[in-house]
Amino acid sequence: MDIAFNKNEDLNKQSVDQLKHKLEKVYLGGGEKKIASQHKKGKLTARERIKYLLDEGTEFLEVGAFTADGMYEEVGGCPSAGVVTGIGYVEGRQVMVVANDATVKAGAWFPMTAKKNLRAQEIAMENRIPIIYLVDSAGVFLPMQNEIFPDKEHFGRQFRNNAKMSSMGIIQVAAIMGSCVAGGAYLPIMADEAMIVNETGSIFLAGSYLVKAAIGETIDNETLGGATTHCEISGVTDNKYETDEECLDAIRKIFDKIGTYEKAGFDRAEPAKPAKDEKEIYGILPHDRVKPYDTKDIIERLIDNSDFDEYKALYGKSIICGTARIDGWAVGIVANQRKVVKTKKGEMQMGGVIYSDSADKAARFIMNCNQRKIPLLFLQDVSGFMVGSKSEHGGIIKDGAKMVNAMANSVVPKFTIIMGNSYGAGNYAMCGKAYDPRLIYAWPSAQIAVMSGAAAAKTLLQIKVATLKAKGEKEITEEEEKKMLAEITDKYNEELSPYYAASRLWVDGIIDPLETRKVISMGIEAANHAPIEKPFNVGVIQT
């Protein structure tokens, strides 16, 4: 191994270690004191409930672990947006789990909590997998009610989704394991089955204090909406249990008896490990995001037996297309080639840039995968589309639109991994969040923005200097200009970070590159629950 490989390996492993350290902090939720308080009440934490519920020894694919990271600092922060979501297995069946974390602001709903819950429901709906709600929430965080209450993608949308999922035949099971108040009370009761834990679980539209204020009635919360009330008097909940563990055992029994599902029919062979060492990805991937590398070297360390059937290998070389298997599942891979390549015309194409010929190739490959019912995997390390008079005259906009059209109209499930750069329209063409990937995850090396930090900072500086001059301000010195550039660069680089993207759910999470196979395999397994119901139709394409 050369010096560059060793340096990359060290720096990328440090980034992964940083990721693991940040996750450990996230997993503590509201902190050890809050966890102890939960235990004192006889309650498990959200993560403990999920661990107990899921099949022992199986994988859990968390969605949105870093949601709200660095946000809401004025009120002490909101780790994971106060809710844990992800895909796991119960009695051998794949499910989506949504568990309120009562250690974080009593499980109150912040704006990002709503966005995260809706994302979990979206994944369940797209893939038609059952969803389990473990409810323990104080309801809307009132100081921010104007950002969570009335709009289309706010709090109320989840109840609309409850109704839609029910009509789609998607199984929903809810357990009330703590507070469940106000509008939030509709969520578990719109599930197929609602259970409640005695003495710790309660559900009502208005608590005892509000009832006293509104109608003058004096009543305690347990009598108003506890387990006995709702299981023996109102019939709102179906069964009560004495402990969290008993309640979770009851959920497992429900899933033990559920019938099978109609499959989409994606092809799966016997899983196999890559023939080339996966861990070498750390050394191959340059820590410096502008340096080139051969993306095929990465692909061969992600796919079964390192066996890749490349499509149009000699044409449109700045995008790599081909079929392979990941954990046995057949996939069609569309990846940005990061090394500088030479065309048959003798021209050099920059790595990570989409040219007309590569966009044309990718569009055709995407159509083929739809024809053959092969899920698509996009591996992003893209700087954008090629610019300049030659590209414009050659129809780069037309060819780029062709690729976007084919990708956007795909009926096979799409998955996106952001390995490195994800800039501008390249993010769009390579199936960014706006184009409905079933799952989208980033590596710690990812950078997501309209353009690179250096280019953006210089552009923003020019605008700022021009604005100051237009206002008649004094001439800016070279030292002042350098200071402004440093400030702009620091701010922009912070926004480039994958953690910034993950906190806002622009990606579903940040993963160690070695977890990529797990993400794709579990994602395709989930997608296999949802048969393709409409034909592939790209509409009008300019040629």
Distance between CA 50 and CA 61 in Å, rounded? 12
Judged by DSSP in three states, 69 sits in coil
Q: Name the residue among 332, 285, 248, 321 with its Cα closest to residue 51.
A: 248
332 and 437 part of one domain: yes
For residues 106 and 484, the model is more confident at 106
pLDDT category at 486 given cuts 50, 70, 90 is confident
What per-residue confidence (pLDDT) applies to 208? 67
What residues have CB less than 8 Å from 176, skipping those under 6 apart? 135, 136, 188, 194, 195, 196, 197, 201, 202, 203, 237
247 and 269 part of one domain: no
Within 13 Å, how many C-alpha atoms sit on residue 276's CB side? 15
166 and 114 part of one domain: yes
534 and 403 part of one domain: yes
What average pLDDT does the segment 509-536 reach? Answer: 97
Q: What is the DSSP string of 506-528?
A: SSSEE--GGGHHHHHHHHHHHHT
Tell me which DSSP letter residue 451 carries.
Answer: S
394-428 b/e (C-beta count within 10 Å ≥ 16 → b): ebbeebbbbbbbbbbbbebbbbbbbbbbbbbbbbb
Q: Does residue 347 register a pLDDT over 80?
A: no
What per-residue confidence (pLDDT) applies to 359? 95
Q: How far is CA 168 from CA 124, 163, 164, 540, in A?
A: 11, 9, 6, 31
Q: Is 502 inside any structural domain?
A: no
Read off the amino acid at residue 515: E
Q: Are 381 and 352 in contact (CB under 8 A)?
A: yes
What per-residue confidence (pLDDT) applies to 460? 72
Q: Are 352 and 311 in contact (CB under 8 A)?
A: no
299 and 420 part of one domain: yes
Q: Does residue 385 register a pLDDT over 90?
A: no
Q: Is 116 inside any structural domain?
A: yes
Judged by DSSP in three states, 507 sits in coil
What average pLDDT does the segment 226-237 reach? Answer: 88
What per-residue confidence (pLDDT) applies to 219? 79
Give the β-pairing of 61-63 and 83-90: antiparallel
Q: Does residue 394 register a pLDDT over 70?
A: no
What per-residue confidence (pLDDT) applies to 203? 87
Q: What is the DSSP string of 189-257?
A: HTSSEEEEETTT-EEESS-HHHHHHHH-----HHHHHBHHIIIIIS--SSEEESSHHHHHHHHHHHHTT
Domain count, the chain: 3
Read off the amino acid at residue 414: K
Calculate ∠ Cα 198-200-203, nearest 5°: 85
CATH number at residue 294: 3.90.226.10
286 and 340 part of one domain: yes
91 and 103 part of one domain: yes
What per-residue confidence (pLDDT) applies to 1? 60
- The Cβ of residue 132 has, within 10 Å, a number of other Cβ atoms equal to 26
Boundary (domain end) residue, out of 231, 255, 279: 255
Q: Name the residue among 156, 158, 167 with its Cα closest to residue 133.
A: 158
- The Cβ of residue 506 has, within 10 Å, a number of other Cβ atoms equal to 18
Q: Does residue 538 register a pLDDT over 80?
A: yes
Read off the amino acid at residue 24: E
Q: Does residue 23 register a pLDDT over 90?
A: yes
247 and 291 part of one domain: no
Distance between CA 478 and CA 485 in Å, rounded? 10
Q: Is 396 inside any structural domain?
A: yes
402-415 pLDDT tens trace:
999 999 999 999 99
Q: Does residue 251 register a pLDDT over 80?
A: yes
For residues 225 and 374, the model is more confident at 374
What per-residue confidence (pLDDT) applies to 384? 84
Out of 140-144, 170-174, 254-258, 516-520, least confident range: 140-144
What average pLDDT does the segment 464-486 reach? Answer: 72
* Centroid of chain to Cα 433: 9
pLDDT category at 367 given cuts 50, 70, 90 is very high
Q: What is the DSSP string of 94-161?
A: EEEEEEE-TTTGGGPBPHHHHHHHHHHHHHHHHHT--EEEEEEE--B-GGGGGGTSSSTTSTTHHHHH
Q: Does residue 152 register a pLDDT over 80?
A: yes
Structure tokens at 436: 């409905």
What per-residue confidence (pLDDT) applies to 393? 58
Tell whether the torsion through CA atoms of 154, 424, 369 and 295 is positive or negative. Answer: negative
Q: Is 93 inside any structural domain?
A: yes
What residues have CB less than 8 Å from 511, skipping those under 6 apart? 19, 441, 442, 443, 519
Percent of the chain with pLDDT over 90: 70
Distance between CA 500 and CA 493 in Å, rounded? 10
Boundary (domain end) residue, out of 203, 227, 255: 255
Q: Is 23 inside any structural domain?
A: yes
Q: Is 426 inside any structural domain?
A: yes
Percent of the chain with pLDDT over 70: 94
Structure tokens at 330: 């057949």
Q: Is 501 inside any structural domain?
A: no
235 and 115 part of one domain: yes
Distance between CA 196 and CA 179 in Å, rounded? 10
Within 13 Å, how many C-alpha atoms sit on residue 192's CB side? 17
What average pLDDT does the segment 428-456 reach? Answer: 90
Read off the amino acid at residue 382: V
What are φ and ψ of residue 314, in 5° steps? -95, 5
What average pLDDT does the segment 58-74 reach? Answer: 97
What residues have CB less than 8 Å from 283, skipping those under 6 apart? 1, 5, 6, 8, 9, 12
Q: What is the DSSP string of 46-61?
A: HHHHHHHHSPTT---E
Boundary (domain end) residue, out of 205, 229, 255: 255
Q: Is 205 inside any structural domain?
A: yes
Judged by DSSP in three states, 277 sits in coil
410 and 464 part of one domain: no
Q: Does residue 474 register a pLDDT over 70?
A: no
What per-residue confidence (pLDDT) applies to 487? 76
Q: What is the CA radius of gyration of the chain?
A: 25
What per-residue confidence (pLDDT) applies to 181? 80
Structure tokens at 221: 């919360």
What average pLDDT does the segment 151-169 reach? Answer: 92
Q: Does residue 44 register a pLDDT over 80?
A: yes
201 and 319 part of one domain: no
How high is the mean pLDDT of the chain? Answer: 91
201 and 248 part of one domain: yes
Judged by DSSP in three states, 396 sits in helix
- Greatest mean pLDDT among 16-20, 72-76, 341-345: 16-20
| Residue numbers of the domain that contains 512 | 1-30+264-446+507-543
What average pLDDT does the segment 326-347 reach? Answer: 89
What average pLDDT does the segment 273-287 reach? Answer: 97
